[in-house]
Structure 1
Amino acid sequence: MAKPEKTDLSDAHTARPGLSGRKAIVTGGTTGIGRAIAVLLASEGVEVFICGRNEDHLADALERIGEVGKGNGIACDLGEKGEVERFFSEAGKTLGNWDIAIINAAVPAEGLADMDGDEVRYALAVDFTAYVMSAHRAVDHLQDRGDILFTGSYSTHKLGPGSTVYAGVKSGIHGFAEALRREVSQKGIKVGLVTPALTGSDFQKPDISPEEQADRIQDETMMRAEDIAVGVHFMLTQPRRTVVQEMVLVQRDTDA
């Protein structure tokens, strides 16, 4: 049987928006998952503005971003008073009218009994308060368009005795992200949550050394940060009518 001259593929796929020409802020964009997201977005034509606590990490990340695209950033500690506001102010001066917010900066936390009071307060400041205040600034800036994506944690699905503070905070972010989606969706702002399981990054040190991380990634018992970035890319390139409310990513060889 002769093939038709033209095949109708109208129902085989759906139109997806591109990323080129967009502008994004990425908190915690100097290492790990945040860096991987910033590099991938930059390679897709997104101008990025990042932050991290370490000047050397910032310089290294910006050098890599500059190899594939365009980016800038500042060193700041979002757990300190006034630093969220400073980051967003500097991002506005550099990017102007940005339309993607990746809220990702976080610090590790242990079981409640293993942390002193100052450590708990700092973890809450970075992992929860800075998330909420960053979202507040993002909603105010975006008004009626754009995307807000939060980085969550699989620890909320697999609770352990040593994850009391971190899992508790990330559970709060999980609920906050879903509620915020419902609050701002009618305005045209999309809100999503990417929830990674065990992923290689500086975040895992000193518990898992870089050498062990490399071995586990090779053995497929740990993911690369770039794997999570690809998931974020998928979330950002869905039609405007479609929201990926939560994307859970786990390593293939896992008992999760």
Structure 2
Amino acid sequence: MTELSDAHTQQPGLAGRKAIITGGTTGIGRAIAVLLASEGARIFVCGRTPEHLDDALKRIREVGEGDGINVDLANREEAERFFDAAEDYLGGIDIAVINAAVPAEALAETDDGDTDYQIAVDFASYLTTTQAAAKRMKAGSDIILIGSMSAVSRKGGNSIYVAAKSGIQGFAKSLREELAEQDIKVGLIEPGFTGADFQYPEFPPEKQRELIRQHRMLRAEDIAVSTHFMLTQPRRTAISLMRVETRLNHP
């Protein structure tokens, strides 16, 4: 009989792990929550909209176990409320997927108040929620930041978003070195053009479905699978950066 014991590396499972997912009620965050729940992780999510939370929790509970609350992570006190509730429900945190974001536009075309809010959610809240997670984690934990290929393409028209996602690139690398000796891994996933309500109104559902069929738009589930891969590696192995793009460019 052929011996295949050396044909694959160790693949730790997710059963029993305790995961928080910010922005886990729609789009990429929701897809990640559903997949991790289906693999046996216990899930706690947050989002801003009650109906989206209800929808996400219904789907999560069809495949696994989870709960969540509505918060606005632009407010640090709301972020702390989320983590306190997550700890109460999960009994600890060993996976944090930092994902919550809002669309952001060109700096010169954005009102001051909108600029402040977009920076607060798309950049500052990444730091504050990651900090809150790390403070609660023990050895063997994982932090995954969901960034964007906008940090690579850096196209005009969404300079606030580009600034935030470029900042997260640098943050991820530095944080990875800070937490490595504590056995807390930090990974960054940078999705390309991905279908979600984040893309409304420019790309309504029917247009998104067509672009996905054409291989010019990713499904949120594609990013969830990347997250799963990052989380199921041996502790010696840190998948530090994954860039997930469409095979064909979108129009």
User: Do both proteins adopt the same fold according to a TM-score greater than 0.5, normalized to the shorter chain?
Assistant: yes
Which of 161, 165, 168 pairs up with 1:170?
165
Identity of paired residues, percent?
Answer: 54
Q: Which residue of 2 aligns with 1:35?
A: 30
Count of aligned residue pairs for this structure pair: 251
Q: Which amino acid aligns with 2:209?
A: A
1:235 alignment partner, SS class: helix
Q: Which residue of 2 aligns with 1:217?
A: 212
Q: Which residue of 1 aligns with 2:12?
A: 17
CA–CA separation in structure 1 for the residues paired with 2:97 and 2:9: 25
CA–CA separation in structure 1 for the residues paired with 2:61 and 2:222: 21
**Shift of the alpha carbon at 1:163?**
1.7
Q: Which amino acid aligns with 2:231?
A: L
**Shift of the alpha carbon at 1:138?**
1.1
Any unmatched runs of 5+ in structure 2? none
Q: Which amino acid aligns with 1:236?
A: L
Q: Does 1:185 align with 2:180?
A: yes
CA–CA separation in structure 2 for the residues paired with 1:143 and 1:137: 13
CA–CA separation in structure 2 for the residues paired with 1:64 and 1:10: 37
Q: Which amino acid aligns with 2:248?
A: D
Q: Which amino acid aligns with 2:182?
A: K
Tell me: CA distance 1:187–1:210, structure 2 relative to 1, closer, same or farther (3 Å): same
**Shift of the alpha carbon at 1:98?**
2.0
1:1-256 matches, cutoff 5 A: 6-254=1-249
**Shift of the alpha carbon at 1:81?**
4.2
Normalization by structure 2: what TM-score?
Answer: 0.98
Q: Which amino acid aligns with 1:116?
A: D
State whether residues 140 and 235 of structure 2, in contact with CA within 8 Å, keep that contact through their aligned partners in structure 1: no
1:157 alignment partner, SS class: helix
CA–CA separation in structure 1 for the residues paired with 2:94 and 2:37: 14
**Shift of the alpha carbon at 1:94?**
0.7
Instruction: Output one character per residue of 1:43-62: Cα deviation in whole Å (capped at 9) or x when no partner.
Output: 00011000000000000000
State whether residues 147 and 168 of structure 2, in contact with CA within 8 Å, keep that contact through their aligned partners in structure 1: yes
Q: Which amino acid aligns with 2:143?
A: I
